[in-house]
């Protein structure tokens, strides 16, 4: 039987994504934001006043000692995710961790190892675009064979992150704390979709460069990658955070029997060899309606943090599997880290999994 007790939540990290998590949790009956934590007291205080949260701290270990706390939502810098997640799991808390799950393979391994010790806890990652209606539809359509044999799946992401963005937080644009830049932060959501929709990546060959932020960051602002999927199909990734355009994403999925192209989540081309299939797909896509955005979210976050967080809470209450368990979120990070490794070592990297 599903639990009906009130679930108490702690938000660790009170930066730009925290309000989206808070607003999404607050939409769910029987869920309470009890703790806010940030190394900068003013950030926690500001959010605490806005959302009427009673307990504030600068040390996540303090909130982990609360026996009434059920959920820890990690919204800090990538480099701190692993230690916070491991400590929270050891303390018996369910853990939801923002992307990227970790900035290193070592961090991923430690998190996953601790998670496996606590099968009674829900430990998952955040890739909210998997809940945008168009992407699960595409995944099912490809799996159904509607595209025939898949040939190519391409991804292009461009956005603007000026020097001021990186100077605002010391962890950004560093290998030690962010683990990279455009790939592991901005493009990772769409890299996850590319891999998920195509049912997994086998290997990658890639290059990256710092072309516009040389005086500000040590990591990449531009990257390209050649992908070999487990299905045998091929693909590509191109991404930059040095564009003059604030945010733009595009996918192209090509099979022997059909093609679908998307721009910022909306179809720009639907073409199938079978005329009846063409009409059916057009009609089904036209019916896809996403939920409203979380009140605290930026437009490019998409509409689906509330749906993802509701799924996480349902997993806790219904004791069923969360849709994006940590092991799955880790595969996307492995892909991103493999892109970096391919450039650094000058060779194609085969993904090993966990």
Whether 173 and 117 share a structural domain: no
Query: Tell me, what CATH number does 60's domain have?
Result: 3.40.50.720
Give the integer Cα–Cα distance in Å for 17 and 82. 18
Whether 312 and 261 share a structural domain: no
pLDDT at 303: 79
Query: Tell me, what CATH number does 284's domain have?
Result: 3.30.360.10
Whether 115 and 230 share a structural domain: no
pLDDT at 354: 82
Whether 262 and 121 share a structural domain: no
Query: Any idea which residue has 């609360």 for tokens?
Result: 66
Whether 55 maps to a domain, the answer reads yes
pLDDT at 300: 65
What is the layout of strands, in order, in the sheet containing 242-255? 266-272, 258-263, 242-255, 150-160, 234-240, 222-229, 201-209, 349-350
Whether 216 and 312 share a structural domain: no
pLDDT at 284: 96
Whether 172 and 186 share a structural domain: yes
Total residues belonging to the chain? 354
Whether 83 and 223 share a structural domain: no
Whether 103 and 218 share a structural domain: no
pLDDT at 320: 72
Are 155 and 135 spatial neighbours (Cβ–Cβ below 8 Å)? no
pLDDT at 1: 41
Whether 172 and 231 share a structural domain: yes
Whether 242 maps to a domain, the answer reads yes
Are 164 and 67 spatial neighbours (Cβ–Cβ below 8 Å)? no
Whether 301 maps to a domain, the answer reads no
Total tally of structural domains belonging to the chain: 2
pLDDT at 289: 78
pLDDT at 129: 96
Whether 186 maps to a domain, the answer reads yes
Split the chain (354 residues) into runs of 10 and give each run's mean pLDDT: 79 96 97 98 97 97 98 97 98 98 97 98 97 97 98 98 93 94 97 98 98 96 98 98 97 98 97 98 90 58 89 91 97 98 98 90
Q: H/E/C letters for each residue in the chain?
A: CCCCCCEEEEEECCCCCHHHHHHHHHCCCCEEEEEEECCCHHHHHHHHHHHCCCEEECCHHHHHCCCCCCEEEECCCHHHHHHHHHHHHHCCCEEEECCCCCCCHHHHHHHHHHHHCCCCCCEEECCHHHHCCHHHHHHHHHHCCCCCCEEEEEEEEEEECCHHHHHHCCCCCCCCCCCCCHHHHHCHHHHHHHHHHCCCEEEEEEEEECCCCCCCCCCCCEEEEEEEECCCCEEEEEEECEEEEEEEEEEEEEECCEEEEEECCEEEEEEECCHHHHHHHHHHHHCCCCCCCCCCCCHHHCCCHHHHHHHHHHHHHHCCCCCCEHHHHHHHHHHHHHHHHHHHHCCCEECCCC
Closest CA to 56 of 73, 71, 40: 40
Whether 106 and 157 share a structural domain: no
Whether 177 and 281 share a structural domain: yes
Structural domain range at position 22: 7-125+308-323
Whether 299 maps to a domain, the answer reads no
Q: What are the residues whose beta carbons fall under 8 Å from the beta carbon of 7, sequence distance 6 or more?
A: 30, 31, 32, 70, 71, 313, 316, 317
Whether 302 maps to a domain, the answer reads no
Whether 110 maps to a domain, the answer reads yes
Counting beta carbons within 10 angstroms of the beta carbon of residue 51, is it exposed (0 to 12), middle (13 to 18) or buried (19 or more)?
Answer: middle
Give the integer Cα–Cα distance in Å for 349 and 354. 15
pLDDT at 293: 53
**Cα-Cα-Cα-Cα dihedral sign, residues 305, 306, 311, 315:** positive
Whether 182 maps to a domain, the answer reads yes
**Separation in Å, CA 215 to CA 207, 242, 245, 264:** 20, 13, 21, 31
User: What is the value of pTM for the model shown?
Assistant: 0.95
Whether 145 and 119 share a structural domain: no
């Amino acid at each position: 039987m599903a639990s009906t007790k009130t679930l108490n939540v702690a938000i660790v990290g009170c930066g730009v994504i925290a309000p989206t998590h808070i607003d999404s949790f607050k939409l769910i009956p029987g869920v309470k934001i009890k703790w806010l934590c940030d190394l900068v007291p003013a950030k926690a205080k500001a959010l605490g006043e806005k959302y009427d949260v009673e307990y504030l701290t600068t040390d996540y270990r303090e909130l982990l000692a609360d026996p009434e706390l059920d959920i820890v939502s990690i919204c800090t810098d990538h480099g701190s995710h692993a230690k916070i997640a491991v400590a929270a799991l050891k303390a018996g808390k369910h853990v939801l961790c923002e992307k990227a799950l970790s900035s290193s393979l070592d961090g991923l391994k430690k998190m996953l190892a601790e998670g496996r010790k606590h099968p009674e806890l829900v430990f998952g990652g955040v890739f909210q675009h998997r809940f945008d209606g168009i992407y699960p539809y595409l995944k099912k359509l490809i799996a159904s064979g509607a595209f025939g044999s898949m040939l190519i799946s391409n991804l292009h992401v461009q956005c603007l992150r000026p020097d001021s963005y990186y100077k605002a937080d010391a962890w950004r644009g560093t290998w030690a704390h962010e683990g990279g830049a455009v790939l592991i932060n901005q493009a990772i959501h769409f890299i996850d979709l590319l891999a998920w929709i195509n049912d997994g990546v086998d290997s990658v060959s890639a290059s990256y460069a710092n072309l516009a932020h040389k005086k500000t960051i040590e990591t990449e602002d531009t990257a390209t990658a050649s992908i070999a999927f487990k299905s045998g199909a091929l693909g590509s990734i191109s991404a930059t955070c040095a564009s003059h355009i604030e945010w733009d994403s595009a996918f192209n999925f090509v099979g022997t029997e059909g093609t679908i192209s998307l721009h910022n989540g909306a179809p720009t081309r639907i073409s199938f060899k079978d005329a009846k299939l063409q009409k059916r797909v057009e009609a089904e896509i036209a019916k896809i309606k996403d939920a409203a955005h979380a009140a605290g979210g930026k437009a490019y976050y998409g509409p689906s943090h509330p749906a993802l967080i509701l799924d996480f809470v349902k997993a806790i209450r219904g004791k069923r599997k969360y849709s994006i368990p940590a092991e799955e979120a880790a595969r996307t990070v492995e892909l991103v880290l493999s892109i970096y490794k391919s450039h650094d070592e000058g060779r194609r990297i085969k993904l090993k999994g966990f």
